[in-house]
């Protein structure tokens, strides 16, 4: 499960100071010294009981302009600061099952009951309310190819709650959790790693009944544009052919093959997918095998 961290003692800090000190020191949540620094700053921000309400009110007065321009996540997420150095600060709102937001949007909008891992490290602290509940599991990413339906050999650890003042480090490609709504509205604060490597790593949605990979939801903007380009222009086909052969990320090669196959019918479609069966990565071969079976 995520690593439990004792919040370091200290005084309350304001958002501007935390953002500036993170920019100065850098964020590397795979490094112990950086984790300690980030934990101290996030704990200081969590002790500031006024900053979030003040920030929300200011955004509302500005008609939510900054959130609309810079927040790449859902309405559940309130972006606090996006750094040019590959990290950001956010607040996550977690409605209870009886709240209007839950009734209107349903559990999927808040990832409740959606077991998943993460393709990045992040540090989280309970800021307000009893906190969301999670069933936590571990798995060994080094033993996994990443194929749909592949067993993860999950190990159940425990069910626990992220209460006020508690802090956890979620580790990329190791911690799986299935979240449940809190007893009442809750808020968590996060320091998130968003280095250039993150979009190229796969995230897994997990089938807990079978202990397997159910989906890989990660899709970079270039992959989506590639799908459009092959249908709109002949040059798009050339780019897709190159990506299918040479791109260093297996998921991108698979999506390039899928884009090319979508242009064909019958035997021609099968021929495109059969080329993918010779790829050096098990994920690409498995994807093409599944698409051929459809």
73: CB partners within 8 A, 6+ apart = 79, 90
Question: Is 136:171 a contact under the CB 8 Å cutoff?
Answer: no
pLDDT digits (tens, 9 = 90+) for 227-282: 888 988 777 899 999 999 999 999 999 999 999 999 999 999 999 999 999 999 99
196: CB partners within 8 A, 6+ apart = 86
Model pLDDT, residue 69: 55
> How confident is the model over 44-73, as a mean pLDDT?
77
Topology classification of domain 3-215:
Jelly Rolls (2.60.120)
Distance CA 97, CA 164 (A): 19
234-246 and 250-261 helices cross at what angle (nearest 10)?
A: 140
pLDDT digits (tens, 9 = 90+) for 118-158: 999 999 999 999 999 999 999 999 999 999 999 999 999 99
Is the overall model pTM greater than 0.75, yes or no? yes
- Domain residue spans of the chain: 3-215, 221-293
Model pLDDT, residue 65: 58
């Amino acid at each position: 499960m995520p690593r439990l961290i004792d919040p370091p003692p200290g005084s309350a800090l304001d958002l501007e100071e935390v953002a500036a000190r993170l920019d100065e020191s850098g964020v590397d949540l795979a490094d112990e010294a950086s984790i300690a620094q980030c934990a101290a700053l996030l704990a200081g921000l969590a002790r500031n009981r006024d900053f979030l309400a003040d920030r929300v009110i200011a955004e509302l007065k500005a008609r939510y302009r900054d959130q609309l321009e810079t927040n790449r996540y859902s309405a559940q997420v309130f972006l606090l600061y996006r750094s040019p150095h590959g990290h950001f600060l956010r607040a996550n709102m977690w409605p209870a099952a009886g709240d209007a937001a839950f009734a209107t949007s349903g559990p999927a909008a808040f990832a409740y009951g959606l077991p998943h891992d993460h393709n990045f490290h992040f540090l989280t602290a309970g800021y307000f309310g009893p906190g969301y509940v999670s069933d936590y599991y571990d798995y060994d990413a080094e033993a996994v190819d990443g194929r749909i339906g592949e067993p993860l050999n999950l190990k159940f650890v425990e069910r626990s709650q992220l209460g006020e003042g508690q802090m956890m480090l979620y580790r990329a490609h190791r911690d799986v959790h299935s979240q449940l709504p809190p007893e009442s509205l809750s808020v968590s604060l996060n320091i998130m790693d968003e280095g250039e490597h993150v979009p190229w790593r796969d995230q897994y949605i997990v089938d807990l009944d079978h202990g397997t990979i159910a989906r890989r939801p990660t899709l970079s903007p270039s992959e989506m544009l590639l799908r459009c380009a092959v249908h709109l222009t002949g040059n798009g086909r050339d780019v897709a052919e190159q990506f299918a052969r040479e791109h260093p990320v297996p998921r991108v090669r698979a999506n390039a093959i899928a884009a090319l196959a979508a242009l064909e019918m019958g035997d021609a479609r099968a021929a495109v997918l059969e080329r993918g069966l010779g790829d050096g990565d098990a994920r690409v071969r498995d994807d093409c095998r599944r698409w051929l079976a459809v």
